[in-house]
Chains A and B, each alone.
Chain A
Amino acid sequence: MKIEILGMGCPKCQKTEQLVKKALEELNLQAEIVKVTDPNEIAKRGVFFTPGVVVDGQVKSSGKVPSIGDLKKMLFQ
Chain B
Amino acid sequence: MTWLLDPLVHGWNALLEYLSAHVLTCLIPAFFIAGAIAVFVSKDAVMKYFGPKANRLLSYGVASVSGTLLAVCSCTVLPLFTGIYKRGAGLGPAIAFLFSGPAINLLAIVYSARLLGLDIGIARAVGAISFSLVVGLLMAMIFRREEQARQIQAPALTLSDKSEKKPPVLLAYFATLVGILVFGAAARWWETGVFTAGLVIVVGRWFSWAEVKEWLIATWDFSKQIAPWLLGGVFIAGMIRAYMPQNWIISTVGDNSLISNLTASVVGAFFYFATLTEVPIVKSFMDLGMDKGPVLALLLAGPALSLPNMLVIRSVLGTRKTVAYVALVIGLATLAGMFFGSL
Contacts and interface: CB of A to CB of B under 8 A. Distances in A.
Dominant SS among interface residues on chain B: helix
A43 B316 CA distance: 10
Interface in B160-180: none
Given A12-B73, A40-B316, A59 B82 contact: no
Interface residues of B, number: 26
Contacts of A13: 75
Contact of A40 (B73, B75, B82): B82
B251 interface: no
Interface stretch (B113-121, B141-149, B151-159, B259-267): B151-159
B79 A43 contact: yes
Size band of the A side of the interface?
A: 20 to 34
A61 B159 contact: yes
Greatest chain A CB density within 10 A among B70, B80, B316 is at B80
Contacts of A7: 75, 79
A69 B173 CA distance: 31
B76 A50 contact: yes
A39 B83 CA distance: 8
B81 interface: yes
A38 to B, nearest CB: 7
Contact of B87 (A8, A10, A43, A62): A43
Nearest to B84: A48
B156 A10 contact: no
A62 B154 CA distance: 18
A48 B80 contact: yes
Interface in A18-55: 38-40, 42-44, 46-50
A57 interface: no
Contacts of A46: 87, 154, 156-157
A46 to B, nearest CB: 4
Contacts of B87: 43, 46, 48
Interface in B53-105: 70, 73-76, 78-87
Given A11-B225, A46-B87, A40 B315 contact: yes
B260 to A, nearest CB: 34
A43 B83 contact: yes
B43 A63 contact: yes
Contacts of B158: 48, 62
A39 B79 contact: yes
A46 B74 CA distance: 20
A39 B159 contact: no
Nearest to B156: A46
B244 interface: no
A67 to B, nearest CB: 12
A39 B313 CA distance: 9
Contacts of B76: 10, 49-50
Give the top 10 A-B pairs by smallest Cβ distance, nearest first.
A10-B75, A39-B82, A48-B83, A43-B82, A46-B156, A42-B79, A43-B83, A39-B78, A43-B86, A39-B79
16 contacts: A6-B79, A8-B75, A8-B78, A10-B76, A39-B78, A39-B316, A40-B86, A40-B315, A42-B82, A43-B79, A46-B156, A48-B79, A48-B87, A48-B156, A49-B43, A63-B43
